[in-house]
Amino acid sequence: MALDDRKLDVLRAIVEDYVATQEPVGSKALVERHNLRVSPATVRNDMAVLEEEGYIRQPHTSAGRVPTDRGYRLFVDRLSRVKPLSPAERRAIERFMDHAVDLDDVVHRTVRLLAQLTRQVAIVQYPSLSRSTVRHLELVPLSTTRLMLVMIADTGRVDQRLVDLPGTLDADDVADLRRLINEKLAGCALTDTPPLVEALLDEVAPVHRPAMSALSTVLLETLVERKEERIALAGTANLARGLLDFQGTLRPILEALEEEVVLLKLFGEVEPSMTRVLIGDENEIEDLRTTSVVSTGYGPGTIVVGGMGVLGPTRMDYPGTIATVRAVARYVGDLLAQS
């Protein structure tokens, strides 16, 4: 059954009021606050239809109506326009982000900024190794039998690992190895490196085979296997604000948020410059079924190196949140493009 325009208006009004007041909204209040040009009784009839279709529901008989997940979905898809950010917000983003000194700082600032602007929980994925390329590999001798391998990715991310050598190497040997691995690997996408690393063994002088072998093992681990993608989180205190939203469910939500693996799922398939909205039930993760997630990919230009987003009660200001997430993601993308 098709919903006529007025019914959609009613739904929109219900969502907006409920989001604002957090209280079930009744027909009378509705006509007063929005200038629907009809009487409460008419609105009630519309509401009955909307309820039948599953877009709203009553917490109990003779209470006002509350949007269902399905109702929010319709609202997000068809009834709302993304609100442009206020100049103040734009300025806040610039002011806050422009002081970032390195990647770590960028990520930290981003996540805190998002949490602050949206007043929800913010989640930012560090630029993912698997989507970046090697900028430089550094070998630092710690002793004659021990190296530290430092990998610098083009996103600015730095990873380091210890390498225990089977034999000893002097400074010149290390320099040779350093030159060699950079020659072969610098500039490659991380995902392309494994065969190149294998090939390295043949390039090296026989004396250095064992060392190279130890090194390449660690290289592979660092470059590929170590998928362990990092996540930054902020604003969990905002969950406690809406205590009404999460009656007894706060605990499992906090627990889910501490599991990095779980969070990474949220960004599973972030698409370039696409904002994704996951509402309540739609969430794969059981414990997050009472929440909504607004997420997007980010990165320099059109490339996506990671995801960021916010998580809050299904009762959230979708247009505002979507706008904020997009704006921040774009800004961080530009920042990464510069460096």
Q: Which does 241 bind (CB under 5 to 8 A by kind): DNA, a copy of itself, none?
A: a copy of itself
Cβ 158 to DNA shortest distance, Å = 53
Q: Is 191 in the site for DNA (CB under 7 A)?
A: no
Q: Where are the alpha helices (DSSP H) in 34-118?
A: 40-52, 69-74, 87-97, 103-118
Instruction: Return the biggest CA–CA distance within the chain.
Output: 90
Only segment of 38-46, 133-141, 190-198, 238-246 that touches DNA (CB under 7 A): 38-46
Supply 215's token pair: 């090194």
Q: Is 63 in the site for a copy of itself (CB under 8 A)?
A: no
Beta bridge partners of 150: 138, 160
Only segment of 27-35, 103-111, 179-187, 205-213 that touches DNA (CB under 7 A): 27-35
Count residues binding a copy of itself (CB under 8 A).
Answer: 32
Of the candidates 148, 316, 338, 295, which has an alpha carbon nearest to the alpha carbon of residue 238?
A: 316
For tokens 């602050």, what's the residue? Answer: 116
For tokens 């902020």, what's the residue? Answer: 234
Q: Is 65 in the site for DNA (CB under 7 A)?
A: yes
Q: Is 90 in the site for a copy of itself (CB under 8 A)?
A: no
Q: Is 315 in the site for DNA (CB under 7 A)?
A: no
C-beta of residue 92 within 8 angstroms of C-beta of residue 327: no
Q: Candidates 20, 22, 54, 58: give the one binding DNA (CB under 7 A).
A: 58
Q: Is 29 in the site for DNA (CB under 7 A)?
A: yes
Cβ 22 to DNA shortest distance, Å = 12
Choose between 25 and 264: whose C-beta lies nearer to DNA: 25
Q: Is 25 in the site for DNA (CB under 7 A)?
A: yes
Give the count of beta carbons closer than 10 Å to the beta carbon of residue 184: 17
Cβ partners under 8 Å of residue 317, min gap 6: 19
Residues 130-189 that bind a copy of itself (CB under 8 A): 135-136, 138, 140, 142, 148, 150, 152, 156, 158, 160-162
Q: Candidates 39, 130, 191, 339: give the one binding a copy of itself (CB under 8 A).
A: 339
Sequence letter at residue 49: V
Q: Candidates 24, 299, 309, 312: give the one binding DNA (CB under 7 A).
A: 24
3-state helix, strand, coil in the chain (%, to 5): 50, 20, 30
Q: Candidates 35, 62, 302, 338: give the one binding DNA (CB under 7 A).
A: 62
Q: Is 63 in the site for DNA (CB under 7 A)?
A: yes
Query: Which DSSP string do the residues of 260-274 spell out, in sequence order?
Result: HHHHHHHTTT--TT-
Cβ partners under 8 Å of residue 328, min gap 6: 93, 110, 113, 114, 117, 308
C-beta of residue 14 within 8 angstroms of C-beta of residue 56: yes
Cβ partners under 8 Å of residue 133, min gap 6: 153, 154, 187, 188, 189, 190
Count residues binding DNA (CB under 7 A).
Answer: 26
Binding mask 88-127 for DNA (x = CB under 7 A): ----------------------------------------
Choose between 3 and 180: whose C-beta lies nearer to DNA: 3
Q: Candidates 1, 5, 35, 61: give the one binding DNA (CB under 7 A).
A: 61
Q: Is 98 in the site for a copy of itself (CB under 8 A)?
A: no
Cα 249 from Cα 251, distance rounded (Å): 6
Supply 286's token pair: 């059981």
Residue 234's H or E segment, with its range, is strand 231-234
Question: Which residues form the interface with a copy of itself (CB under 8 A)?
Answer: 101-103, 135-136, 138, 140, 142, 148, 150, 152, 156, 158, 160-162, 221, 234-237, 239-241, 250-252, 254-255, 257-258, 339
